[in-house]
Amino acid sequence: MMAACELEYQATQNGPIVVGGHKNVIGRGPKASNGSATITKKSTGWEVLMYLGMSLRIDEAMCAMAAMAPSVVAFSPFEGEHSGVWISVERKENRPLLEAIYNELRKASAQTHGYNKVMDAARWNVCLIDVTDGMCRPCVADVKVGYVRHSPHTPLEKVERINKKRLVQPLALRLCGALHQFYRTISNTQHFENEMCEKDVGYLLHTEEDYRDCLRAFFSSRVSMRPDGTGMRRDDSEVFFARLKACCGQIEELLLFFT
């Protein structure tokens, strides 16, 4: 049984991991069966419940969400009978085990009223396809969308911290991090730069105009995301507008799904 659950471990990839946030819980994973690079992420029971629902195509909603999320390659619990073992999603013989884990987590979620170690502790590793694999100089951003950023089970002290942040950031967007790459012209010569935007950049954005300016800069290869106080950062290139249009379409699809 254990052998059937193991994901064949190939050499991990040596390339840098391109992420916009949660860098301390993300690492390189084994290559997928099709040769794609992967990343691993320490995850809570809540996250695993969602990932399993999408991987198993539990219902129509999970099928729709799966189309908008990176593909899951495998799961690995930190504790219990299968501790440290990668349980491959692709192997048909693993479906009964994955369904059993899903049902167990779903039952635990229904019985959760406050903190629950099974659901709230990061007791899992999830292996996901690295969607930036093969891209040349990818840029990524970690953006939270929506006004409600906690669940009914979030500890009270965390809810209070979230509410305090909303006093200074009342918008339904929050930039939590980004890796952006752009060209800067110095003495008539273009130099390529990487910039890491942490939460501090997000805290500088207070108005819709601030966010519009910053996020438009993210889709540009010509200007920095960091606010310069001028509001004059512009990019009128066709590439910029193509990127912006594609992203707007994806976000619209995501918002329609949840409304």
Question: Phi then psi for 143, rounded to 5 degrees?
Answer: -125, 130
Evaluate if residue 45 carries a pLDDT over 60: yes
Q: What are the tens digits of pLDDT across the range 221-245?
A: 888 888 765 555 677 788 888 988 9
Q: What is the largest CA-CA distance in the chain?
A: 64
DSSP state for residue 126 in the 8-state scheme: E
Q: What are the tens digits of pLDDT across the range 55-96?
A: 999 998 899 888 888 899 999 998 888 888 899 999 999 999
- pLDDT value of residue 9: 42
Task: Tell me the torsion sign for CA atoms 48, 21, 146, 62.
Answer: negative
- pLDDT value of residue 6: 40
Distance of CA 191 to the CA centre of its chain: 29
Q: Which of 182, 175, 174 is nearest to 138 (CA)?
A: 182
- pLDDT value of residue 209: 87
User: At CA 228, angle to CA 207 and CA 181, rounded to 5?
Assistant: 100
d(CA 129, CA 31): 9
Q: Which two tokens stand for residue 106?
A: 């779903």
**% of the chain exceeding 90 in pLDDT:** 22
- pLDDT value of residue 111: 86
Question: How does residue 14 score in pLDDT terms, banded at 50, 70 and 90?
Answer: low
- pLDDT value of residue 31: 83
Q: Tokens 């619990």 appear where?
A: 77
Write out the DSSP string of 36-95: --EEEEEE-HHHHHHHHHHHTT-SHHHHHHHTTSPPEEEEEESSSTTTT--EESS-GGGH
List, in order, residues 6 or more apart from 78 with CB less than 8 Å away.
84, 123, 124, 125
Q: What are the tens digits of pLDDT across the range 132-180?
A: 888 888 888 888 887 766 666 677 777 787 777 665 567 888 888 888 8
- Environment class of 160 (CB within 10 Å of its CB; exposed 0-12, middle 13-18, buried 19+): exposed
